[in-house]
């Protein structure tokens, strides 16, 4: 995404993806009011194969065969068995992905059952929504004639990742060389997950941290009006400033000593910050 597009997102403007399809940038208040929907819409588009099958011994071969969630969706068996990951119990993975696309575009997404109940007159005016075409491996939106293939999906997801400042999970399984190595890593992974349970930082936590972390207090109401992109970029800058000032403070402390010429001053936070540098 170019700098002009990032500037538009920073100003809270929707992103034109194609003619008739915009990508919505939700505000923090909107996310909090429908947090589960937001989190599912993020997970459905960004979840990694290595994340889904994190404990599987055959994770390397699974990832090789199904590199992304798109390939998983295009497999008839996995499309069914992984449905509960991003949607309601009994749904398909494709349903969760379609719901996520509808969330970010704000395009109507009536169910198949709702569309089938339309009268002949209603069929002319009411939205028909999305459908996953299993035979072609594509998603179509009938109202905008938008056809989504793998390449189109990847471009769409890349923009969403910039909006949410996406970062890969830190607990992804490493390349597994042996059964013994897998058992060791599995114990470490489960132990870490157990220790982290209940320690997640909520949106409310982050809002409070941001409100008091700047030179002038930011009212919670104003933070609620920020887009998620604005919020994440400001939160990131505050963290980088804190890290820079802490490193500089340690370096300048009279208790700190190091061989002459061996100490390099920390990079100024402005050198490290880049707007919208999400991971792919």
And the tokens for 206? Answer: 């982050």
Calculate the average pLDDT of the chain. 89
What is the reported pLDDT for 4? 64
pLDDT range class, residue 262, cuts 50, 70, 90: low
Tell me, letter by letter, the H, E, C secondary structure of the chain.
CCHHHHHHHHCCCCEEEECCEEECCCEHHHHHHCHHHHHHHHHHHHCCHHHHCCCCCCHHHHHHHCCCHHHHHCCHHHHHHCHHHHCCCCCCHHHHHHHHHHHHHCCCCCCHHHHHCCCCCHHHHCCCCEEEECCCCEEEECCCCEEECHHHHHHHHHHHHHHHCCCCCCCCCCCCCCHHHHHHHHHHHHHHHHHHCCCCCCHHHHHHHHHHHCCCCCCHHHHHHCEHHHHHHHHHHHHHHHHHHHHHHHHHCCCCCCCCCCCCCCCCHHHHCCCCCCCC
Residue 105 and residue 146 in contact, taking contact as beta carbons nearer than 8 Å: no
Range with the poorest average pLDDT among 78-82, 149-153, 227-231, 241-245: 241-245
pTM comes to 0.87
Q: Taking residues 159-182, what's their average pLDDT?
A: 89
What is the reported pLDDT for 278? 74
pLDDT range class, residue 192, cuts 50, 70, 90: confident
């Amino acid at each position: 995404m170019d700098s002009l597009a990032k500037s538009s997102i920073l100003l809270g403007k929707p992103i034109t993806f194609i003619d008739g399809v915009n990508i919505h940038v939700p505000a923090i208040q909107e996310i909090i009011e429908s947090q589960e929907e937001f989190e599912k819409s993020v997970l459905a588009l960004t979840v990694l194969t290595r994340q889904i099958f994190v404990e599987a011994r055959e994770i390397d071969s699974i990832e090789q065969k199904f590199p992304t969630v798109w390939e998983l969706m295009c497999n008839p068996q996995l499309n069914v068995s992984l449905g509960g990951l991003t949607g309601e119990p009994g749904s398909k993975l494709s349903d969760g992905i379609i719901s996520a696309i509808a969330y970010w575009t704000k395009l109507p997404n009536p169910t198949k059952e709702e569309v089938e109940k339309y009268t002949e007159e209603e069929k002319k005016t009411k939205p028909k929504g999305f459908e996953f075409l299993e035979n072609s491996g594509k998603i179509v939106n009938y109202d905008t004639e938008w056809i989504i293939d793998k390449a189109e999906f990847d471009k769409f997801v890349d923009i969403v990742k910039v909006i949410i400042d996406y970062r890969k999970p830190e607990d992804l399984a490493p390349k597994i060389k042996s059964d013994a190595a897998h058992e060791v890593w599995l114990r470490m992974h489960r132990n870490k997950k157990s220790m982290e349970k209940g320690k997640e930082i909520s949106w409310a936590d982050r809002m409070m941290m941001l409100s008091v972390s700047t030179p002038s207090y930011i009212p919670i109401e104003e933070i609620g009006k920020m887009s998620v992109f604005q919020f994440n970029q400001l939160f990131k800058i505050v963290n980088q400033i804190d890290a820079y000032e802490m490193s500089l403070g340690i370096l300048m402390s009279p208790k700190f000593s190091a061989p002459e010429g061996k100490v390099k001053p920390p990079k100024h936070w402005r050198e490290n910050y880049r707007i919208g540098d999400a991971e792919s």
